[in-house]
Amino acid sequence: MKTFYHSTQEYQEIIQEKLTNRQLRENLKTAMDTLKNNRKNLINARYTKWSDLREEGRRVKLKALTHLDILLRRFEENATKNGIKVHWASDAKEANEIIYNLMQEKKVTSILKGKSMASEEIHLNAFLKQKGLDAIETDLGELIIQLIDETPVHIVVPAVHKNRYEIGEIFQEKLGASLESQPEKLNEIARKHLRKEFKTFKMGLTGANFAIADEGAIWLVENEGNGRMTSTACDIHVAICGIEKVVESFEDASILGTLLVPSATGAPITCYNNIITSPRKEGEKDGPREVHVILLDNNRSNMLNDRNFFKSLSCIRCGTCLNHCPVYDKIGGHAYLSTYPGPIGEVISPQLFGLNNCAPMLDLCSLCGRCSEVCPVKIPLAELIRDLRSEKVGQGYGKVLGYKKEAKNSIEQFLMSGFAKNATCGKKWRSVLWLAKNLGGMGKIFHRFIPILNKWTKYRNYPKIDANLHSEIKKLQGVIYE
Ligand code: SF4
């Protein structure tokens, strides 16, 4: 049984390890900068009404979430009419059992997998391994991390922490390929390796980006064609999908699809849009003979009942909040010790897996608010992280899953109340600035010996205190207070 609990000590150790890994930091920075720039350039060049589109996306998701019970039943009814078998899984255990039972029934010992964060959430691969069964990843990033026995570092680009030279070495060691570093060559190696798998497999499993209630169809967005192969080349296609992925109509899904791809990769459109409406029909030459959709709850219903945190169910898993996070790009996804890292991970992990199990994760945020500014469906991520912090210290309303009031940190309380007293009184604040200007330089010499400050400067340069800071601020304050 997977345990979700991680102590502050575990978090501190893994963060320290990641911060001191220069290669990892370089890889992450390069990748995050590329993704951010691609997104920005595309939006500036092509979308004059991006902010209206975001508002539409927010509206579509909130409409779906506030009618979720009706839409889920409608989806089931229409999908069943189309010949799709719909399964309901209240938690990870039930979802895994459904897949296991299907494999047993069809006498299948291995499945092919397209990219699916829901399958990561239920730890499907580990579950199947325990049962002596196999899952072969077909997404390039997922294949890379499966070969080195790791978990995804990012919700869209699972192996983004590895550069092309490292990937070449992995393929050489694990697949016996020649040592390559050109992306085209690396793709070719992965393609050759996977082609033979596609020919022999009977069951394929994918995620789903949207489930469309009016049509009883699922929409799978992907870039590599492996999702299409996995969902069509096998006799049986199983899609696993969180219940919050249901929207009313194709029109609604297409608004979200238009927001998803530029946000995720900075491309205007994805290479493959797979809209799966039914199994193979009589007279058709290809496609799966059976399609199963597993609707996964796993605490989402509890999230939906929360008047504030339910907004996080609007997430379309584009990953752009991770790409813009100044914490994520230093430590990467593994340091969050959860399936879901980054800002959205900090918001949904405590709700999905229990606040008591991953509370230290909430400290991995500077509340800079960039994530809220870029989220295509306008989830107020920074506000929600702050509200979860209130829950963590017993100042919320105590309804989040696994809520347990944390013991108060008296040093932190003392420092924060001191800061509040000084920052809210002009006279005191000016004195603090005077001290910072005149004594701040001493910190440069002694910071290594000052507890708390030395933790901060361990991975950062001591800031240069601007000699003009005090007089500049005083001038400004003079204007304000006059
Ligand atoms: S919270 Fe918003 S930005 Fe982050 S992954 Fe979800 S949709 Fe994308």
Which pLDDT score, from 0 to 100, does residue 475 have? 62
Which pLDDT score, from 0 to 100, does residue 296 have? 98
Instruction: Give the residue, by CA position, lying nearest to ligand 1 atom 7.
Output: 315
pTM, whole model, 2 decimals?
0.89
Domain with CATH 1.10.1060 in the chain: 1-46+305-405
* Structure confidence by residue, pLDDT tens digits, 201-259: 899 999 999 999 999 999 999 999 999 999 999 999 999 999 999 999 999 999 999 99
Which of 317, 315, 324, 330 is CA-nearest to residue 43? 324
Instruction: Give the residue, by CA position, lying nearest to ligand 1 atom 3.
Output: 375
Average model confidence (pLDDT) across the chain: 92
Q: With bands split at pLDDT 50, 70 and 90, how would you rate the model's confidence at 4?
A: confident
Which of 179, 132, 184, 186 is CA-nearest to residue 159? 186
Domain 1-46+305-405 class, CATH top level: mainly alpha
Contact 351, 400 (CB under 8 A): yes
Q: With bands split at pLDDT 50, 70 and 90, how would you rate the model's confidence at 459?
A: confident
Higher-pLDDT residue of 147, 437: 147
Calculate helix-pair angle for 50-66, 68-81, nearest 10 degrees: 80
Which pLDDT score, from 0 to 100, does residue 393 have? 84
Rounded CA gap, 229 and 225, in Å? 6
Higher-pLDDT residue of 402, 117: 117
Angle at the Cα of 315 from the Cα atoms of 374 and 154, rounded to 5 degrees: 75
CATH 3.40.50.150 correct for 50-144+198-298? no
Which pLDDT score, from 0 to 100, does residue 333 have? 98
Q: Annotate 158-188 with DSSP letters as a single string.
A: TTTTS-HHHHHHHHHHHH-PPP--SHHHHHH
Which pLDDT score, from 0 to 100, does residue 367 have? 96
- Asked if residue 472 has pLDDT above 50, the reply is yes
Helix (H, G, I), strand (E, B) or coil at 275: strand
Which pLDDT score, from 0 to 100, does residue 454 have? 81
- Asked if residue 166 has pLDDT above 50, the reply is yes
Contact 226, 260 (CB under 8 A): no
* 392 CA to centre of ligand 1 in angstroms: 23
- Mutation test residue for ligand 1: of 56, 60, 379, 385, the one with most atoms within 8 Å of CB: 379
Whole-number percent of the chain with pLDDT over 90: 78
Q: With bands split at pLDDT 50, 70 and 90, how would you rate the model's confidence at 399?
A: confident
- Asked if residue 481 has pLDDT above 50, the reply is no
* 35 CA to centre of ligand 1 in angstroms: 14
- Asked if residue 451 has pLDDT above 90, the reply is no
- Asked if residue 412 has pLDDT above 70, the reply is yes
* Structure confidence by residue, pLDDT tens digits, 63-100: 999 999 999 999 999 999 999 999 999 999 999 999 99
Which pLDDT score, from 0 to 100, does residue 482 have? 37
Where does ligand 1 bind, in terms of residues with CB under 6 Å?
263, 315-321, 344, 375-377, 379, 381
- Asked if residue 337 has pLDDT above 50, the reply is yes
Whole-number percent of the chain with pLDDT over 70: 95
**Closest atom of ligand 1 relative to the 263 alpha carbon:** 8
Burial class (CB in 10 A: 0-12, 13-18, 19+), 442: exposed
Domain with CATH 3.40.50.10420 in the chain: 50-144+198-298
Contact 251, 307 (CB under 8 A): no
Which pLDDT score, from 0 to 100, does residue 476 have? 57
Q: With bands split at pLDDT 50, 70 and 90, how would you rate the model's confidence at 1?
A: very low
| 241: β partners | 295
DSSP symbol at 462: P
Helix (H, G, I), strand (E, B) or coil at 241: strand
Instruction: Give the residue, by CA position, lying nearest to ligand 1 atom 4.
Output: 321
- Asked if residue 147 has pLDDT above 70, the reply is yes
* 73 CA to centre of ligand 1 in angstroms: 26
* 93 CA to centre of ligand 1 in angstroms: 26
Which of 112-116, 168-172, 466-470 is predicted with the least confidence, judged by mean pLDDT? 466-470
Helix (H, G, I), strand (E, B) or coil at 218: strand
Which of 30-39, 91-100, 390-399 is predicted with the least confidence, judged by mean pLDDT? 390-399
**Closest atom of ligand 1 relative to the 316 alpha carbon:** 7
**Closest atom of ligand 1 relative to the 381 alpha carbon:** 1
* 380 CA to centre of ligand 1 in angstroms: 10
Angle at the Cα of 305 from the Cα atoms of 304 and 307, rounded to 5 degrees: 95
- Asked if residue 479 has pLDDT above 70, the reply is no
Q: With bands split at pLDDT 50, 70 and 90, how would you rate the model's confidence at 122?
A: very high
